[in-house]
């Protein structure tokens, strides 16, 4: 799964990578311990161009009567995303990319949890596949939320967990964001685990176990 991640990417770099035209924010502050329910910058396409918007992490289906369900839908299994009622509309019509510098996983030894920071070996930003939805509360308040797609772990990540985010190759960004692509099954080739030879990880301080702690110290190598 993916339950915590890092964004340490300047906006100018994001703009170049994802061909952004407009944005709800003038600059991005580094985030070292992003947790579910928090607002996160995600890339979407509106039919004419890509833009960056703040969405809440934890998808709430448009038909849901209980917004609390979003805290449980932080991940969507790519193998079942076309079948699950909560995701089947979004995978066809509401796809997004979540920029990440890396994500965290934990090993469990002798009753203790040890956090690790997983990232690309060349430290380049990741473009992670996501889906989003628009939800209207009974009082008329609108909320946009997203979920991170996951796949089976590659050999590297499997040492810590059996799941990992769907990391897209840059040449597939356009297809994933396309507003003209509604055949969800045609996207399944994108769900393969990212090559382990291009990734690495290191153990980090247990400070990251507290979602209220957000500092570069979270990704410091032990």
* Catalytic annotation, residues: 2, 105
The dihedral built from the CA positions of residue 33, 34, 40 and 44, taken in this order, carries a sign that is positive
Q: Residue 165: which of 145, 151, 146 has the closest Cα?
A: 151
**Dihedral pair phi/psi, residue 19, rounded to 5°:** 55, 50
- Please give the span between the terminal C-alpha atoms of the chain, in angstroms, as a whole number: 23
Residue 170 CB neighbours (<10 A): 12
Query: Of 32, 41, 39, which is closest to residue 13 (Cα–Cα)?
Result: 41
Residue (of 184, 179, 149, 166) closest to 44 by Cα position: 179
Q: Which residues contact 12 (CB under 8 A, 6 or more apart)?
A: none
Q: Give the SS3 label for residue 213.
A: coil
């Amino acid at each position: 799964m993916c339950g915590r991640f890092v964004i340490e990417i300047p906006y100018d770099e994001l703009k170049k990578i994802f061909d952004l035209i407009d944005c709800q924010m003038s600059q991005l502050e580094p985030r070292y311990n992003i947790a579910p329910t928090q607002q996160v910058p995600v890339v979407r396409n509106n039919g004419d161009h890509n833009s960056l918007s703040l969405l809440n992490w934890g998808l709430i289906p448009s038909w849901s009567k209980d917004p609390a369900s979003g805290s449980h839908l932080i991940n969507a299994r790519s193998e079942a995303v076309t079948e699950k009622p909560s995701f089947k509309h979004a995978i066809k019509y509401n796809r997004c990319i979540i920029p990440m510098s890396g994500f965290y996983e934990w090993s469990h030894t002798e009753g203790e949890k040890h956090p690790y920071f997983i990232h690309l070996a060349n430290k380049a930003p990741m473009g992670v596949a996501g889906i989003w939805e628009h939800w209207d509360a009974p009082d008329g308040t609108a909320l946009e939320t997203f979920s991170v797609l996951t796949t089976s772990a590659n050999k590297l990540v499997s040492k810590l967990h059996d799941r990992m985010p769907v990391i897209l190759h840059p040449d597939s960004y356009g297809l994933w964001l396309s507003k003209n692509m509604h055949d969800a099954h045609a996207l399944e080739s994108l769900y393969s685990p990212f090559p382990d030879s291009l990734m690495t990880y290191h153990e980090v301080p247990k400070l990251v176990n507290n979602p209220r702690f957000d500092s570069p110290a979270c990704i410091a190598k032990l």
